[in-house]
Structure 1
Amino acid sequence: MSDPIIRMMNIEKHFGSVIALAGVTVEVYAGECHCLLGDNGAGKSTFIKTMSGVHKPTKGQIEFEGQPLQFDDPRDAIAAGIATVHQHLAMIPLMSVARNFFMGNEPVKKVLGINFFDHAYADRVTMEEMRNMGISLRGPNQAVGTLSGGERQTVAIARAVHFGAKVLILDEPTSALGVRQTANVLATIDKVRKQGIGVVFITHNVRHALAVGDRFTVLNRGRTLGTALRGDISSEELQDMMAGGQELATLEGSLGGTV
């Protein structure tokens, strides 16, 4: 196996006396979907914020493409090729899909020496990239607010891929979606992985993780409980690890019954 795109080694993050991460190690390889699972408060959000440059680790080391790297802010991570699609998408519902797609990276053309937004280029690229992800828009001027939740997630993912993401972090992308929309997003994740991009899929839903995941890391109270390959762990075992299986077993034994 080739070297990982990004390696997070023994990452700790302290907020005063609160230890949010207590030595987490995760590796992400090109063309794989690495699922990061854990219940609320497990440390998932703090970890991805550390990976994406929002937080600096208190201890530990980050290697990106084999080189030690320190992100001073999220722009450094984005420049390196680490893109994050948050659960609450940074989109403007009344603006068109094309305008949202290129927001912050507007293509321009000069007319009489003056820069104008290049609508033709933006429209063409938006339609092409969305078709590549399996989404058929009515047109590039369709308002984002008219899209389903799953389609909006796909717009955000397609945008990150187009602008050169090498590692794509997806923060609970299926948490608020219905069955059909969830299936569409999972299919999009599979397409992205097949393009050689490393995907970090943060979720607390074991079924969604097993549908697309290649490796699975479970966090519990800021610690890594282990990483398993697809086929080496069952959904029951993953669920048990997320719920603190050893703690439950100890409690069951002390009560002499089933919790």
Structure 2
Amino acid sequence: MFIDSHCHLNFPELKQDIDNVLANMRRHQVTHALCVAVDLPSAIQAIELANTHENLYASVGVHPDYEMENEPAEEELVRLALDPKVVAIGETGLDYYRLSGNLDWQRERFRLHIRSAIACGKPLIIHTRSAADDTLRIMREGKAERVGGVMHCFTESQAVALAAIDLGFYISFSGILTFKNAASIRDVARDVPLDRILIETDSPYLAPVPHRGETNQPAFVQYVAKEIARLKNMPIEEVAETTCQNFKRLFLSQPV
């Protein structure tokens, strides 16, 4: 059994074929998936999907890549997060790779998401790219450890992973782990304790080997688990069971 801890089933590439996507999940023993928002309209769509399908969950948040005329309000995020199928705030964070110039708005938005997560008592889904130092600094300043969360689609160093774990966060690996040029990320995955790891697809993007070039989907999360099992020299069943337990502990507050 596997759980895809981060996907975008409300994106057109997957939503238009949602019945087949969900059927493929079942065929490949992917029992649940978390549909992650990137802006407020997608948050509403994610909530609708989660309330239509018992095995789906949703998050609410605005991605750091999305420059907006009107920034989200804390009250709005908290209100949307009241839905029982919403299990997290995000994705949020910092991304200095695609954007440049004065990014104070991005940092302020990140702080707002941390405040919102603390206000509603739900964990954070954090995106960071080329911004690890500022991401960790703002997490510490905002007391993000009060709710914890996950560093999604992790591509940073072992030092960043350990710093996030020290703040009570999990590290989530995607199909990037299977890419030929991802040796440094594999080194991190080898060293991160299994009880702090989640697996994800970030679909419809980043399809793992052997499906590179295809539209990614939650059914493919098994390949991330297989690579972690190979790196750690352990049965894939152990990786599947532990990452499912980690997901339930973080997002569903279930003792395991």
TM-score scaled by structure 1?
A: 0.38
More strand by share: 1
Larger RCO: 1 or 2 (CA < 8 Å, sep 6+): 1
Q: Which has the larger radius of gyration?
A: 1
More helix by share: 2
